[in-house]
Amino acid sequence: MLTKISKFFLTLFIFFYGYLYFLFKKKNLKNINSSFVNVYCLTKGLSNLILNSLTVTNYKVKKFFSFKTVSDSEDIINIPKKNLSTQKIVTEISETGYAILPEHIKKNDIDEILKIINYAKCSYILNDEIIKSNSISEVPEAATIIDIEEDELLKVKIIQDLVHNPLFYHTAKKYFNSIPILTNVGLRISKISDNPGNREAQLYHFDLDRPKWLKFFIYLNDVDNRDHGPHSYIKESHKVFSKPYKILIKRYQRISDEEIFKFYNHGNEKIILGKAGTLAIGDTLAFHKGYNPRTKIRKVLTIEFSNSLFGSYFENYNISKKNFKKISTNFEEKFYSKFV
């Protein structure tokens, strides 16, 4: 018992020390994520609620005392022919964990994104090991997952345009109640497999690298049924106190369907099907996974925005903010925090 109490207070100390270190140094301790996850699990999410409140308060104070007024006029963006606005999207995410916009990205844009696969550097998973490759043509047929290198994606105009999509930015800003920061861009190819993989994120799990974030998943090919490897999530499991301790004590372990449905009804599982261009906006603090494709390769582009860089060690992008930034979007400078 004494050992458990000691570990508890040590975890809290490292967490608070790590947070103060981040505030003053603007960078994370290399091993802070372990304490960050432990404190989240111990408090069933209350720690993240507190961190987010501090972030929002800090944003509002700085905005109040700033001489430069940033316009929020684009915070309400109506989406033609879909009768949706950022407020409706944010409300749906807040209530369920996700919002789905069918066939939202144009076919021409999808075709441009898919061209990147042919020449970009990538990494792949083979026998549970991650291996880098100069080209997808060099990837062995037996590889289960292929990820295009992030720096390669950020150099491409179509990706830059999507990252600066006003709908994405203002949805994240409204969800966070503070400035979004671009924290990740990824393009994953999931190959056909008979069984779900651990490293492949094909078992239920939750993400926790930052206090709050949103991921924008774009299907690059049709995902019409479960055998095509759809993304799925457990509705409302992103909320504070929504996760059972019997799962949280496992920390970051993947969870089988059998175990997850001991605590959640099957009706709480939402399987996202859709044509190429379907956009799923998710708070992946909710339990989620990608079904392993059984009959068809699945390709997905993911763009992530966060409200803070605290929570996990990071390295800046090897791309100049000056070359990447789009003046016409009028995004706050904090959005480009990871750029050199």
DSSP 222-239: -B-SGGG--EEEETTTTS
Q: Give pTM, 2 decimals.
A: 0.93
| pLDDT band at residue 162 using 50, 70 and 90 as cut-offs | very high
User: In this structure, what CATH number is given to the domain that contains residue 151?
Assistant: 2.60.120.620
When comparing pLDDT for 231 and 74, which is higher? 231
Supply the pLDDT for residue 77. Answer: 52
Average pLDDT over residues 165-184: 96
Q: What percent of the chain has pLDDT over 90?
A: 82
| Averaged pLDDT for residues 14-35 | 94
DSSP 214: E
Report, as an integer, the average pLDDT of 76-94.
74
Please say whether the beta carbons of 233 and 287 come within 8 A.
Answer: yes
- On the question of pLDDT at 170 being above 70, the answer is yes
Count structural domains, the chain: 1
Give the pLDDT confidence of 184-204 residue by residue, as tens digits: 999 999 999 999 988 889 999
3-state secondary structure (DSSP) of residue 248: helix
Tokens of 13: 């100390």
Q: Give mean pLDDT, residues 141-152.
A: 95
Which residue has better confidence, 21 or 63?
21
**311-319: average pLDDT:** 92
Query: What is the average pLDDT across 114-124?
Result: 96
What is the mean predicted confidence (pLDDT) over 234-242?
Answer: 97
Q: Domain span at residue 86?
A: 2-336
On the 0-12 / 13-18 / 19+ scale of CB atoms within 10 A, 23 is: exposed
Higher pLDDT, 284 or 71: 284
Confidence at residue 82, expressed as pLDDT on a 0 to 100 scale: 52
